Chain A
Amino acid sequence: MTTKISATEILKYLYKEVSEEEKRKFEEKLKNDAQFQEEFYSFLHLKKELDGLEKAPSEKSIQKILDFSKSFDLKKSIK
């Protein structure tokens, strides 16, 4: 059973919101606590799945944005 504290620790670690000291303590705990490891890898796996959901827009859209930026006339937009 996950405690709220350990899940919060895992989230902060996974999303790199820990100080060097917290990071060191977390990694120490990870080495020595099998239940914590199980929980950690389960969250890590899910995070990787979420990373994999990332989609790419079409080249056409990207080109349109780049063209707009090049043609954007600052003087005209101020008038």
Chain B
Amino acid sequence: MRKYKISDCELITKYKSGDEKAFETLLMRHKNKIYTTIFLIVKDAYVAEDLLQDTFIKAIKTIKTGRYNEEGKFLPWISRIAHNMAIDYFRKQKRYPTIVMEDGSNVFNTLEFAEEAVESLQIKSETHARLRQLIQKLPEAQKEVLMMRHYMQMSFQEIAEVTGVSINTALGRMRYALINLRKQMNQSNSNFTYDHKNLSNRNP
């Protein structure tokens, strides 16, 4: 895990005593991971933005009213809030059918790569879009562990506790998730290369 000059725990202590800058640091430090967690569940950039705000509003209220008691583990704590909000949203959407795009790639292209060549940007963007689609196709248990470990920064032990399995099972699920992704990425890359070759062959 990344080491910062000021820990999350210290920032929260400062924030509790009215230091808004401390909160800003905390927000800037973790916003991308939390946003990504939500986005991977709801698959809609606009909904993810709303849920990100709701997540932080809940965290602000909890901290400012003195009900926060998970010092030192801010990211797993707020990630769980985000995860629950996204799951709630997702369940509501399932109950009330709406028009859902099969491929959400149109909302994926908001990453900023200011200094990269256009071609490399395009390849990266395509790879990311495919990887996101493949994550969605993973069995639920594997997807859950992958997101908790990779984006919510929960340890395998914490994941085991939250999901009610042994640490070896949690590790096993992560292992299968990565192996499945790798296998699918390799297949997808072969198809991608094949498609591109066929396309270029068709053009004189």
Asked if A pairs with B, the answer is yes
Residues of A within 8 A of B (CB): 2, 4, 7-8, 11-12, 15-17, 42-43, 46-47, 49-50, 52-58, 60-62, 64-66, 68-70, 72, 74, 77-78
Q: Which residues of B contact A57 (CB under 8 A)?
A: 31-32, 35, 48-49, 52
The residue that B127 contacts in the complex, of A49, A58, A60, A61, with Cβ under 8 A, is: A49
Would you call B39 an interface residue if the criterion is a C-beta within 8 Å of the partner chain's C-beta atoms? yes
Closest 7 CB pairs of A and B: A57-B35, A65-B56, A7-B175, A61-B49, A54-B36, A54-B32, A8-B171
Q: Which residues of A contact B114 (CB under 8 A)?
A: none
Shortest Cβ distance from A66 into B: residue? B24
Chain B facing A: main interface SS: helix
- Sample 20 A-B pairs with CB under 8 A, ordered by A number: A4-B172, A8-B175, A43-B182, A49-B128, A50-B131, A50-B150, A52-B124, A53-B40, A53-B128, A53-B131, A54-B33, A55-B39, A56-B31, A56-B32, A56-B112, A65-B60, A69-B20, A69-B23, A72-B60, A78-B65
User: Closest CB-CB distance, A60 to chain B, in whole Å?
Assistant: 8
Q: Is the beta-carbon distance between B33 and A61 smaller than 8 angstroms?
A: no
User: Closest CB-CB distance, A55 to chain B, in whole Å?
Assistant: 5
Kindly list 8 other residue pairs between chains A and B, CB separation below 8 angstroms, not including A11-B178, A54-B151. Answer: A4-B172, A11-B174, A17-B156, A46-B182, A47-B150, A55-B39, A56-B32, A72-B60
